């Protein structure tokens, strides 16, 4: 009897982890539900606004606006990619779910940047914050993404808004990491030079450290965008509409048509997003010493206007 306990201890000894999880979740939901609903509200407002805008506007207007936007932010090639990418999405019959996915993605990425960038900056300034946050980020990134879904359903319910929240949870860690890394990797003598000329910590951050860390931070934002796209399929399991749902239904019903439309739509969306967001990484230097508004369509219009004045 005693011997068998020693040999197979786990038959009798068990930590009630499942119970703990259950109890703590029940406690959180019964006490803090209003808080989570309050978090949900502004996200829902923003998401609805973007989604309504995208779905109610004429399709051709959206194609033109987004192509011009990509051209303005990045370059002409990105504009051409956006133009043909959006047309392709429309032609394969994925327009409406793509606009929904677009809205979810845009909302999730905005929220991720809003949370991730300041946290990354804070981590690079205050080492103790980084020491605390680092294991949490490790945990967030190693835990299988499906696991997020259960607590999110319990706290926020199902639908597009919980979908945004679970996406933010999944996609923000790399941005925090890379922002912190980028800022810590800035050449120390360049930081010291800013100090030597009397720059305040804020001035130093804005005009020396952030610009120098920009490539690394942009890699982080790019990662966030790509992970958000990955999450769009997984999040469709908690009833998020859009391209991901097409793929999910396709898997469930072995429906190759829908799975193909959803999958190709996501890839096209990813390409458009990737090319356009790369533009944020360009410096004035990359643009040949031209400001953002001196290039692309706006620059062209401005040049015309100036020309007619003279």
Partner 1 sequence: MDKDEAFKRFGCVIGVADASFSVNRGEVFCIMGLSGSGKSTIIRHVNRLIEPTDGQIHVEGRDVMSLNAGDLRDLRARKIGMVFQHMALWPHKTIAANVAFGLEVQKRPLEQRKAAADAALTKVGLAGWGARYPDELSGGMQQRVGLARALAADPDILLMDEPFSALDPLIRNDLQDEFLKLSREVKKTTLFITHDLDEAMKMGNRIAIMKDGRIEQTDRPENIVLRPATDYVARFVSSISTLKYISASEIMTAGKTAGDAAEFGPSTPLPVLLQAFSDGASELAIKDGDATLGIIRASDVLDRIKEDLSRV
Chain residues binding partner 1 by CB under 8 A are 187, 189-190, 192-200, 203, 207-208, 211-212, 214, 283, 285, 289
Smallest distance from the beta carbon of 123 to partner 1, in angstroms?
22
| Least distance (Å) between residue 189 CB and partner 1 | 4
Q: Is 289 left (phi over 0), alpha (psi -120 to 50) or beta?
A: left
Rg for the chain, CA atoms, rounded: 24
Minimum Å gap between C-beta 74 and partner 1 is 18
Sign of the Cα pseudo-torsion (208, 210, 211, 214, in order): positive
Residue 33 or 187: which CB sits closer to partner 1?
187
Rank residues 24 and 207 by Cβ distance to partner 1 and give the closer one.
207
User: Which CB, 55 or 287, lies closer to partner 1?
Assistant: 287
Comparing CA positions, the residue from 109, 108, 86, 110 lying closest to residue 98 is 86
Tokens at 202, concatenated: 């804020």
Q: Pick the closer one to partner 1 by CB: 285 or 309.
A: 285
Do 276 and 222 contact (CB within 8 A), yes or no?
A: no
Rounded CA-CA distance 99/80 in Å is 19
- Least Å distance, CB 133 to partner 1, is 27
Closer residue to partner 1, CB minimum distance, 51 or 209: 209
CA pair distance 112, 167, nearest whole angstrom: 9
CB of 200 to partner 1, least distance (A): 6
């Amino acid at each position: 009897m005693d011997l068998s306990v020693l040999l197979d201890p786990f038959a009798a000894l068990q930590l009630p982890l499942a119970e703990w999880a259950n109890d703590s979740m029940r406690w959180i939901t019964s006490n803090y539900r209003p808080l989570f609903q309050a978090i949900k509200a502004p996200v829902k407002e923003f998401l609805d606004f973007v989604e309504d805008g995208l779905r109610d506007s004429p399709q051709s207007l959206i194609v033109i606006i987004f192509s011009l936007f990509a051209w303005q932010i990045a370059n002409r090639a990105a504009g051409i990619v956006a133009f043909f990418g959006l047309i392709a999405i429309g032609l394969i019959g994925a327009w409406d779910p793509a606009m929904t996915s677009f809205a979810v993605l845009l909302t999730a990425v905005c929220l991720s940047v809003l949370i991730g960038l300041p946290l990354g900056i804070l981590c690079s300034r205050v080492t103790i914050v980084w020491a605390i946050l680092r294991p949490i980020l490790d945990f967030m990134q190693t835990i299988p993404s499906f696991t997020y879904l259960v607590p999110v359903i319990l706290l926020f319910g199902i639908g597009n808004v919980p979908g945004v929240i679970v996406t933010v949870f999944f996609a923000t860690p790399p941005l925090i990491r890379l922002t912190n890394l980028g800022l810590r990797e800035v050449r120390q003598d360049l930081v010291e030079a800013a100090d030597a000329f009397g720059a305040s910590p804020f001035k130093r951050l804005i005009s020396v450290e952030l610009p120098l860390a920009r490539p690394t931070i942009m890699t982080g934002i790019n990662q966030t965008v790509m992970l958000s796209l990955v999450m769009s399929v997984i999040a469709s399991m908690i009833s998020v509409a859009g391209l991901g749902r097409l793929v999910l239904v396709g898997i469930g019903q072995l429906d190759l048509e829908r799975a193909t439309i959803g999958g190709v739509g996501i890839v096209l969306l990813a390409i458009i997003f990737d090319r356009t967001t790369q533009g944020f990484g360009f410096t004035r230097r990359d643009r040949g010493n031209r400001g953002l508004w001196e290039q692309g369509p706006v620059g062209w219009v401005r040049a015309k206007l100036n020309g007619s004045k003279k």
